[in-house]
Amino acid sequence: MSDGFAIIAIGASAGGVDALRTIVAALPADLNAAVFVVLHIGAHRSDLPWLLSRSGALPAAHGVDGEEVVAGRIYVAPPDHHMVIADGRVGLTKGPRENWARPAIDPLFRSAARSFGPNVAGVILTGGLNDGTAGLYEIKRRGGTAIVQDPADCLTPNMPQSAIANVDVDHIVPASAIGDLLTRLAGSIPSGSTSRQASDGQEEAMVAEFTHDLPVAVTCPDCGGALRRSELGRLTQFSCHIGHVYTAEVMLAAQFLAMERFVEQAMRSLSERAELCRQMVVQIGDDAERAAQREAWHAASQEAVEQSEPLRALITRPWIHPGLSRMDFRPQ
């Protein structure tokens, strides 16, 4: 990745399209920054890159996993994916939703702050609730610049209001002024200054952030409540606030049964998907004009069958159950 340019991270929700178009229209073609945009779109199809490309001089496109970050481009989070920056490249993940959103603003802001510290400008635009506040706090904590759209200029002011209440914001301005402000900030980045920040003990690959090996807590297989661990001599017990109690051995077996139920549900869904696609193949029949559709339905059916096999292997393979045989915990 070339040195000497800024990272601009922008987050928006309700009313954000108009604000984004206003900002992008003011950005020059030679902007000394790479621009990253997250708009709360969920899994819905998005034409935002097309709209932004038509609104200003910078090309916009959905981020592609693994592509290099370069100045003078706008990277838009694609539907149903968090977008992050790691090692000078774009990262995409379908990790857990944050603040009910995927894509969410906080993952982008955190990753930008951790990688590029004071060379990051974070921008919170119109939107409900408070996604982006924690990420903007992280940008500010690591020396970056915090910018918030004036709540009076917002269709939905909650996100800017939350940021102002919880972060030492540097600039509170209307959308019409943000583009020029970002251009000035980007122009102040000295040559050779855009570099990955040193680790402070929290640095980690952002994609891995959504795949932690260790859960926060062990939960009850029956009700989902948190479990309290206790020791009775050499016997370990787990109990939840509802009153479910397990020895460690029975707890392990109960976890397996819960996993088995979920896997079987997934297998059933895949089987039904395969059958639906098969029925569509039969319905189309030998219609030559719909041959491409028939092939697509057939391929989708085969895909569902193939994807169910690893799940079947997962629950039929021999599992280790300390202190119990598998027959000991089968439903009576």
Name the residues annotated as catalytic: 13, 40, 131
Backbone region of residue 241 per phi and psi (left: phi > 0; alpha: psi in -120 to 50; beta: other values): alpha
What tokens appear for 83 in the block? 């977008």
DSSP 277-304: HHHHHHHHTT-GGGHHHHHHHHHHHHHH
What tokens appear for 260 in the block? 């088995």
* Nearest partner of 107 among 217, 205, 175, 199, judged by Cα: 205
CA–CA separation, 117 and 202 (whole Å): 13
Q: The tokens 């020895």 sit on which residue?
A: 247
State residue 178 phi and psi, 5-degree precision.
Answer: -70, -40
- CA end-to-end span of the chain: 61
In 10 A of CB 12, how many CB atoms? 29
CA–CA separation, 21 and 54 (whole Å): 9
E strand or H helix at 235: strand 235-240
Sign of the C-alpha dihedral computed for residues 46, 51, 53 and 56 taken in this order:
negative
Does residue 256 contact residue 290 with C-beta atoms inside 8 Å?
A: no
Does residue 225 contact residue 219 with C-beta atoms inside 8 Å?
A: yes
CA–CA separation, 25 and 13 (whole Å): 19
